[in-house]
Structure 1
Amino acid sequence: MIFPRIAFLDVDGTLIDSGEVIADSTIEAVQTARANGHLVYLCTGRASVEIYAKIRDIGFDGAISAGGGFAEIGDELVISRTMPEEAVARMVDFYDESGYDFYLQAFAELYPSPGVRGRFASYLQDDQARRGETRTDLESVTGEHEHPALKAFADVRPLSFTGIAKSVFLAGDLSAFDRVTAALSGDFHVITGTIPHMGKGSGEVTLGGVNKGSTILQLLDKLGLDASRAIGVGDSNNDIEMLQVCGVGIAMGNATDAVKAHADEVTTSVLDDGVWNAFRRHGLI
């Protein structure tokens, strides 16, 4: 008899590499694990709208998005941990006063400040050399000639102060993270950026207590599963709480040293069969 496990997979640096390509073995691992009766969930800092169709089409049982702000079972939104309007206003006011670019994540919408698209476009341009080194036999999950993030970040419109679960602030100023932490950390959870190309001073902000790990525990309760049956796989700072609450926390081979320090074990890197090796080791495939 198979006693099902549940796996939570980060997206950037875990499911896909920084060039947004995915190893064939990763797709095979996810699909085989599910065929074997196990559950596989995405667990990402991306908003739901940033989980591109080619990622979802791999097949998952649900997703945690916006760094723990939302959780879906199948395509049903079952957990929403959004900020009070006054908290969003306070955060935005600070960004505006500091001159930082930022974007807000709702469940199905992004609200960028005017400079975000330019930052991302510059990254894509500067990254061409590295992308040329990315394995060309692997498929890109963006699936479009124009990167979908460029379209999303070009949609600058009045901000929403309702339904916001997370913000990402973008700055080249190394003191930006310290300044945001000093200004907001009393009520908010502030971590260093998991998208380093968007600026060395960048970071992510959720409400205090809202992170991937705490939302995993809420989701497991809804599913009637114990955390000891859970496997978390990630590579970035916003994955640390996930690795801590899951029965087995696995860091990718390309993870930061801080993430590896909180993991029970380390698998191989993202394009070196990291997810497949982790699933194989724990009997999901």
Structure 2
Amino acid sequence: MYTITSLRSSPMMHTSRRPPRLECLMISPRIAFVDVDGTLMETGSAIAESAIDAVRAARRNRHLVYLSTGRASVEIYPAIRDIGFDGVISSGGGFAEIGDELVIERTMPEAAVARMIGFYEESGYDFYLQSFDELYPSPGVHDRFAEYYASDEKRKVGAGSEGASVTGAVAHPALKAFADVRPYSLAGIAKSVFLAGDLRAYDRVSDALSGEFHVITGTIPHMGHGSGEVTLSGVNKGSTILRLLDRLGLDAASALGIGDSSNDIEMLQVCGVGIAMGNATDAVKAHADEVTTSVQADGVWHAFRRHGLI
């Protein structure tokens, strides 16, 4: 175990795959890939102020910090983008931006999208499709998320949650997008998210779509195996990070990846240092080099501090 000494509290980190090594302040610039939900912020909640401080301080120190999220670009709301990042990986690896320039697009063939939609509809599952700049929801998605956000708001009020608001408004901005039910696009789709009351949904989707598609679950915690994400086989945060690093002329050994969910596993595996949040599942922690503290306990800040970014 490592003891972290900082101006904040001093929790513990531990390694799971590599032998311990002491870190000193890095001279060469590093690059960090940071997840959003469960990493920068509690899922559906507010951004941790310590994470905002960490990202901005690291960039002042000339390190690169990229978002790496399962959200579509249009779901990265201004309060998140305004923290300031050097670029974004979105839709679980479907797209990558350097600054404001879209440089990587890994979308599905139209026939594959049609097959995926057909399976969801035959199964009676709600779902939404992610393109770079659009969401295409099925009719039931809005009500599912409206119920979740309402219960989450009550939980936050009861718990006295603090932090920078993601929405800046009473109505969650996702609900407007999820209310826009219209014909689905088959072109430009990088990812889908399925939602069902059926706790066998993940197994059924995986059995039906595996091979051509990469299917994971656990990214919407309150739904368990009743939900999941689908990208093309081989498309994930990790493989897109490698393409982006090649474009930037950087070595993966210089990269830090920080996340908490099953769609972060490949990111933790390819980065030189893969760091799981303290609130991550045991399955995710098993793929990490280190475990930092939770969102509420300044996890991103402590990880950046330990590795000399701040």
TM norm structure 1: 0.97
Match of 1:33 in 2: 58
Q: Does 1:49 align with 2:77?
A: no
- Counterpart amino acid of residue 123 in structure 2: S
Aligned residue pair count? 285
Q: Does 1:181 align with 2:206?
A: yes
Q: Percent identity?
A: 77
Higher mean C-alpha displacement, 190-199 vs 224-233 = 190-199
Tell me, in whole angstroms, the C-alpha distance in 2 between the residues paired with 1:244 and 1:200.
Answer: 23
- Counterpart amino acid of residue 247 in structure 1: G
Match of 2:246 in 1: 221
**CA distances 1:17-36 after superposition (whole Å, capped 9, x unpaired):** 12421221111100000000
Match of 1:210 in 2: 235
RMSD: 1.2
Tell me, in whole angstroms, the C-alpha distance in 2 between the residues paired with 1:24 and 1:123.
Answer: 24
Q: Does 1:140 align with 2:165?
A: yes
Match of 1:5 in 2: 30
Tell me, in whole angstroms, the C-alpha distance in 2 between the residues paired with 1:37 and 1:73.
Answer: 16
Segments of 5+ residues of structure 2 without an aligned counterpart are: 1-25
Tell me, in whole angstroms, the C-alpha distance in 2 between the residues paired with 1:224 and 1:183.
Answer: 39
Q: Does 1:103 align with 2:128?
A: yes
Tell me, in whole angstroms, the C-alpha distance in 2 between the residues paired with 1:19 and 1:86.
Answer: 33
Larger radius of gyration: 2
Higher mean C-alpha displacement, 232-241 vs 142-151 = 142-151
**CA distances 1:84-106 after superposition (whole Å, capped 9, x unpaired):** 00000000000000000000000
Tell me, in whole angstroms, the C-alpha distance in 2 between the residues paired with 1:193 and 1:221.
Answer: 30
Segments of 5+ residues of structure 1 without an aligned counterpart are: none
Tell me, in whole angstroms, the C-alpha distance in 1 between the residues paired with 2:130 and 2:44.
Answer: 22
- Counterpart amino acid of residue 27 in structure 1: I
Match of 2:104 in 1: 79
Match of 1:272 in 2: 297
Tell me, in whole angstroms, the C-alpha distance in 1 between the residues paired with 2:63 and 2:175.
Answer: 35
User: What SS does the aligned partner of 1:21 have?
Assistant: coil
Higher mean C-alpha displacement, 117-126 vs 236-245 = 117-126
Match of 2:155 in 1: 130
Tell me, in whole angstroms, the C-alpha distance in 2 between the residues paired with 1:151 and 1:102.
Answer: 16
**CA distances 1:42-87 after superposition (whole Å, capped 9, x unpaired):** 0000000000001000000000000000000001000000000000
User: What SS does the aligned partner of 1:139 have?
Assistant: coil
User: What SS does the aligned partner of 1:259 have?
Assistant: helix
Query: Residue 170 of structure 1 contacts residue 199 of structure 1 at CA under 8 Å; is this kept in 2?
Result: no
